[in-house]
Amino acid sequence: MLRRCAISLLLAAVALPAVPRTRPHYGGTVQIEMAGDGIHADGGLVLRFVLDGLTRLGADGTAQPALAVSWKSENNDHRWEFELRQGVQFQNGFPLTADRVVASLNESCNGNCPWTAVHAVGSSVVFVSDAPEPNLPWLLAETQYLISLTDAGDGKTLPCCIGTGPFAFNNQDQPRSLVAKENYWGGRPFVDKIEVVTGRAIRDQWLDLSVGRADVVEVPPEDLRQAQQQRLTIVASPPVELLALAISATGALANPTLRGAIAEAVDRAALFNVIFQKQGEVTASLLPQEMTGYAFLFPTARDLNKAHELRGGLNAPPLILGVEGGGAMMLAAQRIALNLREAGFDVQPVDSNPMQHPDLALRRLPMEGTDAAAAMEGLLRAVGEPAAVSRQSTAALFHAEKEFLDQKTLVPLVDLPRAYAIGPRVRDFQLNADGTPDLASASLEDAP
Amino acid sequence: MSLRQKLLLLFSLTVAAAVAAVAWTVLLRVRHVFEQRDQEETALFVYQFQREFQHRSAEVAAAVDRLAGSEPARAMAFELAQSGDAAPYLTEAQTMAQDAQLDFLEIVGPDGNVVSSAQWPARFGYPEPAAAEPAQGTFLKREDLPDGSAALGLFAVRAIGGASPAVKLVGGARLDQGFLADLPVAPGMTIGLYSDATPEQGQSTGGAPVAFDPARLMGANEAVAGAVHYRALIDAARRSGQQTNGVVNLTDRREDSLNATAIPLKNQAGDVMAVLIVGISRASMVEAQQHIRAMAYGVAAGGIFLAIVFSLWVAARVSRPIEELARAAEEVASGNWDAHVPARGRDEVSVLARSFNHMTEQLASQRERLVQSERVAAWRELARRLAHELKNPLFPLQLTVENLVRARALPAEEFDEIFRESTATLGAEIANLKAIIGRFSDFSKMPRPEIERIDASDVVARVHALYTTAHQTPEARGAAIQLNLDVSLEPMPIDADPELLHRALSNLVLNAIDAMPEGGRLTLSAHPRGERVELRVADTGEGLTSEECERLFTPYYTTKQHGTGLGLAIVQSVVADHSGTITVEGTPGGGATFIITLPRAL
> Rounded mean pLDDT of B284-309?
83
**A369-373, A424-428, B248-252: segment of lowest average pLDDT:** A369-373
- What integer pLDDT is reported at residue A426 of this predicted model? 92
Q: What are the DSSP E strand ranges found in B419-480?
A: 452-455
- What integer pLDDT is reported at residue B209 of this predicted model? 58
B90/A338 CB distance under 8 A? no
> Rounded mean pLDDT of B160-174?
80
C-alpha distances in Å from residue B515, one per residue of A123, A268, A376, B571, B592: 168, 146, 154, 17, 9
pLDDT at A175 over 80: no
Contact between B337 and B364 (Cβ < 8 Å):
yes
- Residue B218 neighbours by CB distance under 10 Å: 22
> Rounded mean pLDDT of A45-63?
86
The helix (run of H) or strand (run of E) holding residue B576 is helix B567-577
> Rounded mean pLDDT of A125-138?
90
Q: Compute the mean pLDDT over every residue in chain B, rounded to the nearest whole number.
A: 83
d(CA B89, CA B116): 6
Please give the residue that has the higher pLDDT: either A171 or A222.
Answer: A222
**A21-25, A89-93, A327-331: segment of lowest average pLDDT:** A21-25
- Residue B297 neighbours by CB distance under 10 Å: 13
Contact between A98 and A120 (Cβ < 8 Å):
yes
- What integer pLDDT is reported at residue B457 of this predicted model? 92
Nearest CA to B444 among B556, B545, B360, B534? B556
d(CA B204, CA A106): 62
A334/B121 CB distance under 8 A? yes
d(CA B423, CA B402): 12
**Tens digit of pLDDT for each residue in A58-80?**
877 788 999 999 999 998 889 99
At A348, the amino acid letter reads: Q
Please name the residue of chain B whose CA is at the shortest distance from the CA of residue A227: B88
pTM: 0.63
pLDDT at A186 over 90: no
The alpha carbon of residue B183 is apart from the nearest alpha carbon of chain A, in Å, by 33
Could you tell me if A162 lies within 8 Å of chain B, comparing CB atoms?
Answer: no
d(CA A96, CA A52): 11
Q: What are phi and psi of B594, to 5 degrees?
A: -95, 130
pLDDT at B184 over 80: no
d(CA B138, CA B59): 10
d(CA B258, CA A379): 66
**Tens digit of pLDDT for each residue in B321-332?**
888 888 888 888
At A425, the amino acid letter reads: R
- What integer pLDDT is reported at residue A120 of this predicted model? 92
A274/B124 CB distance under 8 A? yes
Q: What are the DSSP E strand ranges found in B66-149?
A: 104-108, 114-117, 139-144
Please name the residue of chain A whose CA is at the shortest distance from the CA of residue B91: A275
- What integer pLDDT is reported at residue B536 of this predicted model? 94
pLDDT at A11 over 60: no
A274/B90 CB distance under 8 A? yes
**Tens digit of pLDDT for each residue in A422-444?**
999 998 898 888 888 888 889 98
Please name the residue of chain B whose CA is at the shortest distance from the CA of residue A348: B147
Contact between A48 and A436 (Cβ < 8 Å):
yes
- What integer pLDDT is reported at residue B203 of this predicted model? 45
The alpha carbon of residue A418 is apart from the nearest alpha carbon of chain B, in Å, by 19
A274/B147 CB distance under 8 A? no
Helices (H), A2-74: 2-15, 45-50
Contacts of A262 (CB under 8 A, 6+ apart): A245, A247, A253, A307, A340, A343, A345, A360, A408, A411
d(CA B266, CA B243): 11
The alpha carbon of residue A256 is apart from the nearest alpha carbon of chain B, in Å, by 26
> Rounded mean pLDDT of A114-133?
90
- What integer pLDDT is reported at residue A65 of this predicted model? 93
> Rounded mean pLDDT of A245-272?
91
- What integer pLDDT is reported at residue A271 of this predicted model? 92
- Residue A111 neighbours by CB distance under 10 Å: 5
**Tens digit of pLDDT for each residue in A199-231?**
889 999 999 999 999 999 999 999 998 898 888
> Rounded mean pLDDT of B143-172?
83
Indicate the burial class of B309 (C-beta count within 10 angstroms; 0-12, 13-18, 19 or more). Answer: exposed
Contact between B264 and B238 (Cβ < 8 Å):
yes
Query: What residues of A are in contact with residue B148 (Cβ under 8 Å)?
Result: 346, 348
pLDDT > 90: what percent of chain B? 12
pLDDT at B525 over 90: yes
The alpha carbon of residue B150 is apart from the nearest alpha carbon of chain A, in Å, by 14
Interface test with B, best of A274, A279, A302 (most B CBs within 10 A): A274
A348/B147 CB distance under 8 A? yes
- What integer pLDDT is reported at residue A265 of this predicted model? 93
> Checking DSSP bridges between strand A426-427 and strand A347-351, what pairing results, if any?
unpaired
pLDDT at B523 over 90: yes
- What integer pLDDT is reported at residue A19 of this predicted model? 47
C-alpha distances in Å from residue B275, one per residue of B47, B141, B259, B262: 16, 13, 16, 6
Contact between B418 and B410 (Cβ < 8 Å):
yes
A273/B87 CB distance under 8 A? yes
pLDDT at A190 over 80: yes
- What integer pLDDT is reported at residue B382 of this predicted model? 72
Q: Is the ipTM of this complex over 0.90?
A: no
At A253, the amino acid letter reads: L
A30 pLDDT tier (thresholds 50, 70, 90): very high
d(CA B241, CA B232): 14
- What integer pLDDT is reported at residue B85 of this predicted model? 84
- What integer pLDDT is reported at residue A17 of this predicted model? 47
Please name the residue of chain B whose CA is at the shortest distance from the CA of residue A350: B147
Query: What residues of B are in contact with residue A267 (Cβ under 8 Å)?
Result: 125
d(CA A43, CA A49): 12
A338/B123 CB distance under 8 A? yes
Q: Compute the mean pLDDT over every residue in chain A, rounded to the nearest whole number.
A: 85
DSSP string over B206-255: TSPBPPP-GGGEEESSSBPTTGGGGHHHHHHHHHH-S-EEEEEESSSSTT
- What integer pLDDT is reported at residue B352 of this predicted model? 85
- What integer pLDDT is reported at residue B81 of this predicted model? 81
Contact between A234 and A15 (Cβ < 8 Å):
yes
Q: How open is the CA angle B283-B285-B287, to the nearest 5 degrees?
A: 65
pLDDT at B383 over 80: no
> Rounded mean pLDDT of B425-439?
83
**Tens digit of pLDDT for each residue in B60-80?**
999 999 998 888 888 888 888
- What integer pLDDT is reported at residue B331 of this predicted model? 85
Query: What residues of B are in contact with residue A339 (Cβ under 8 Å)?
Result: none
pLDDT at B563 over 80: no
> Rounded mean pLDDT of A285-297?
89
Length of chain B: 602
d(CA B528, CA B584): 18
**Tens digit of pLDDT for each residue in B526-555?**
999 999 999 999 999 888 888 888 877 776
pLDDT at B396 over 50: yes
**Tens digit of pLDDT for each residue in B8-48?**
888 878 887 888 888 888 888 888 887 788 778 777 877 87
> Rounded mean pLDDT of B298-314?
84
SS3 content of chain A, % helix, strand, coil (to 5): 30, 25, 45
Query: What residues of B are in contact with residue A225 (Cβ under 8 Å)?
Result: 87-88
Please name the residue of chain A whose CA is at the shortest distance from the CA of residue B118: A331
Helices (H), B89-198: 92-100, 177-182
B395 pLDDT tier (thresholds 50, 70, 90): confident
pLDDT at A417 over 60: yes
- What integer pLDDT is reported at residue B345 of this predicted model? 78
pLDDT at A304 over 60: yes
Please give the residue that has the higher pLDDT: either A87 or A6.
Answer: A87
d(CA B473, CA B524): 20
Q: Peptide bond before B165: cis, by omega within 30 degrees of 0?
A: yes
A84 pLDDT tier (thresholds 50, 70, 90): very high
- What integer pLDDT is reported at residue B324 of this predicted model? 83
The alpha carbon of residue B198 is apart from the nearest alpha carbon of chain A, in Å, by 14
pLDDT at A22 over 80: no
Could you tell me if A426 lies within 8 Å of chain B, comparing CB atoms?
Answer: no
Contacts of A311 (CB under 8 A, 6+ apart): A257, A258, A261, A343, A344, A345
Please give the residue that has the higher pLDDT: either B16 or B313.
Answer: B313
d(CA B106, CA B157): 10
Contact between A161 and A39 (Cβ < 8 Å):
yes
pLDDT > 70: what percent of chain A? 90
> Rounded mean pLDDT of A411-422?
94
What does DSSP assign to residue A96? P
